[in-house]
Amino acid sequence: MSASALEVVRLAKTFGGLRAVDDVSFTVPHGSLTALIGPNGAGKTTVFNLITNFFRPDAGEARFYGTSLAGLAPGHIAALGLVRTFQSARIFPGMTTLENALVGAHLQVRTGPMGQMLWLPAAGREERALTHRAEALLDLVGLAADRDIPATELPMGAQKLLEVVRALMARPRLLLLDEPAAGLNDSETAELAALLRAVRANGITVALVEHNMSLVMGVADQVVVLDAGKLLASGTAMQMQSDARVIEAYIGQDAEAA
């Protein structure tokens, strides 16, 4: 049993001539809320894509509670308990808000297609239990009233919250969130922060890529800073806020002179 939920070991990926991710290593401790920050193009999302095998890394690997994720299909990784969201909320069109949330519980469903087709009582019970949980989570992010409308009709911020709910329905051990606050207004961001704290309180480890600094400073235990594909620094939110290298990466060389 490893103490870290996720170990990223010397990951590297080159696109054409660009070293998008260059020898990046960090760990996400079990039960923590880790934020991955850095200027645009720093390689944050690429790191997520490498961890979940949407891209094949050139070198290095990610280990999830000690298990190497190298070469595993995205579906297999989800089955291990590592669930991710996407930068552009990828909710499913053609389904309602509630149905979208329920898709997240796919791996929790125990009765197979056959049992569902035969209207087995167990399938009905399971469906009701999942619906109950989905409604509770939707309620938590203020989407309970919208459960039966097409999810694509939700505003962008609500769609991103729905995507987080959908990921939570999978009962993940580690949740990877790619810019969950992008496109959210202030009240939605506050709801997200509350949700993230609740998630951590329930023992789910979280790693997120985020630009919204007030959110990061408010909820993150650990901050990992990337710049131009390289690991720049890591530590607590407070440490990172005053770290000269981090300030320089964000504001530029003249920061000290000014």
Partner 1 sequence: MDTAIQIVIGGLLQGSVFAIVALGFSLVFRVTGAINLSQGAFCIIGALVTYSLQESFGWPVALAAAGAAAVTAATGLAIGAAVFVPALSRLPVSSMLIMTAGLLTLLEGLTLVVWGSQPYALPPFSGEAPIEWLGVRVPTQGFWIAGVTAAVIFGLWYLLMRTAAGKALRACAENPMAARLMGIDVPRVTLASFVLAAFIGGLGGIVVGPITSLQFDTGRFFTIFGFIAVAMGGIGSFIGAVVGGLLLGVVEQLAAGYISSMFANSLAFGLLLVVLLWRPNGLFASGLARRTDVREGQRIYPPIVRLKGRRAAILGAIAVLVALALPNFIPSVSVMSSLVITCILFIALLGLDILMGYAGQVSLGQAGFMAIGGYAAALLATGYGWSPLAGTAAGMLLSVACATVLSLFTMRLRGHYLALATLAFGLLVDSFAIGLTDVTGGPSGLVGIPAFAIGSLVFDTSTKMYYFLVALIVVIVLLLHGGVRSGFGRALQAVRTDQTAASALGINVARYKLIALSISAALASLAGSLYAFYFHFLSPEMVGMPRSLELIAMLVLGGEGTLVGPLIGAALLTLLPTIIQPLAAYKTFATGALLVLAVRYLPGGIYGAAVHRLGRLIGRRAAAGELR
Q: Which amino acid is at 85?
A: T
C-beta of 33 vs 151, nearer to partner 1: 151
What's the closest the beta carbon of residue 49 comes to partner 1, in angstroms?
A: 6
Residues that bind partner 1 (CB under 8 A): 45, 49, 52, 54, 73-75, 78-79, 83-84, 86-88, 90-96, 99, 102-107, 109, 111-113, 116-119, 123, 127, 150, 152, 166-167, 170
Pairing of strands 174-178, 205-209: parallel
Q: Which of residues 121 and 203 has its CB atom nearest to partner 1 in the complex?
A: 121
The residue to which tokens 């959210």 are assigned: 184
CA angle 53, 58, 59 (to 5 degrees): 95
Closest approach, Cβ 90 to partner 1, in A, equals 4
Contacts (Cβ under 8 Å, ≥6 apart) of 221: 29, 32, 33, 34, 236, 237
How many beta carbons lie within 10 A of that of residue 254, not counting itself?
8
Work out how close the CB of 53 gets to partner 1 at its nearest, in angstroms, rounded to a whole number. Answer: 10
Task: Work out how close the CB of 169 gets to partner 1 at its nearest, in angstroms, rounded to a whole number.
Answer: 9
The DSSP 8-state label assigned to residue 109 in this structure reads -
Smallest distance from partner 1 to CB 150, Å: 5
The nearest distance, CB 129 to partner 1, in angstroms, is 12
Cβ closer to partner 1: 24 or 168? 168
Q: Which is nearer to partner 1, 114 or 201 (CB)?
A: 114
Residue 78 beta carbon to partner 1: minimum distance, rounded to whole angstroms: 4
Judged by beta carbon, residue 4 or residue 152, the one nearer partner 1 is 152
Distance CA 178, CA 247 (A): 22
Q: How far apart are CA 76 and CA 171, in angstroms?
A: 15
Residue 31 DSSP one-character state? T
Name the residue nearer to partner 1 (CB basis): 5 or 102.
102
**DSSP category for residue 113:** H
Which amino acid, one-letter code, is at 76? H
**Angle CA 142–75–222, to nearest 5:** 60
In DSSP terms, which residues pair with 7 in a beta bridge?
27, 63
- Name residue, tokens 């981090």: 246
| CB closer to partner 1, 27 vs 49 | 49
